[in-house]
Chains A and B, each alone.
Chain A
């Protein structure tokens, strides 16, 4: 069951780390409505994290709760893709990162609703409704800013150029994925690429943005081989209270 545990960590760590990143905007967004929207998006992702990591702890069978997994592991035990741990940058970069992740997440959750593991299928059913709403919003924002002013267009293109090399990792496969495919629990990530490219291609074309030609992909997050330096800084903030006051509750 270690493969299932790893798979659930990958799902839960993606939403945990991105949810935390997005929550960093709270009180700093360009306008009030965006502030509220980002905070709500972060909440949904943290909620999904509780479901994924809650199940991960159950599957692991060592009595670890979702909170234990979130707050008491260090960077090398995280299994999120590198994309979600990258810094927020400007608002445009945050929304581009959100869109690229949402497009993958909504595709993945759609497939997971057919999972042979009912617990996984149930979480996917719940989360996919939220993900559909997220991708609609982040996609609209990418179009609005991409096909906006000269300044906003330039920033969105720069964001896409910076983030695109981190997209490929979401479609990587390894032994964990092979075991999940074998058990009918999860699809091969590579098989999501067509649907993702179709959605992302359509939105980015409408946003008048150009997808970089280089196929190079940074990786190492979902396998835990090597995260970027940014994850440690994020965890230092997120985990500070549980590290300083172990077991603190309120």
Chain B
């Protein structure tokens, strides 16, 4: 039996939203590490963002449901810890979507580049942790709005 190409599977996975930040996909997030066919059986390798991320179970269910909606049910998910997830794996598409959503994307220097609301450069950190382990709380002193920063790890 012919099965969809891995490219096709990647495209389908790119339609599965992150449960906590639904404007980006699981592929954008960089946690899907590999997709491989073993005959008619599909192996998908996933790495956790943070070891304590409460969304992990939800993410696994969403992957299986997303693939099942395209008729793929013979699927095994593998957890891979090493190499550990890094924000370098966020896609450019995902970073742009984060900023449009009001979350400053991770920046190489370790602090947000600009306010996602007004583009202001005068920023201060409110707290090292935000609403989820992957975000920190910042504030823009130009427009005075608070915002989440997707922190670098």
Contacts and interface: CB of A to CB of B under 8 A. Distances in A.
Contact of B83 (A125, A133, A137): A125
A33 B138 CA distance: 11
Interface residues of A, number: 27
Given A37-B127, A37-B129, A40-B129, A129 B84 contact: yes
Contacts of A40: 52, 129, 132-133
A36 B127 contact: yes
Contacts of A48: 51-52
Nearest to A128: B84
B50 A130 contact: yes
A156 B2 CA distance: 67
A126 interface: yes
Chain B contact-residue range equals 20 to 34
A47 B51 contact: yes
B131 interface: yes
A47 B50 contact: yes
A133 B51 contact: no
A40 B131 CA distance: 9
A165 B15 CA distance: 54
A34 B137 CA distance: 11
B81 interface: yes
A231 interface: no
Contacts of B129: 33, 36-37, 40-41, 137
Interface of A: 33-34, 36-37, 40-48, 50-51, 118, 121-123, 125-127, 129-130, 133, 136-137
Interface of B: 48, 50-54, 81-85, 126-133, 137, 153
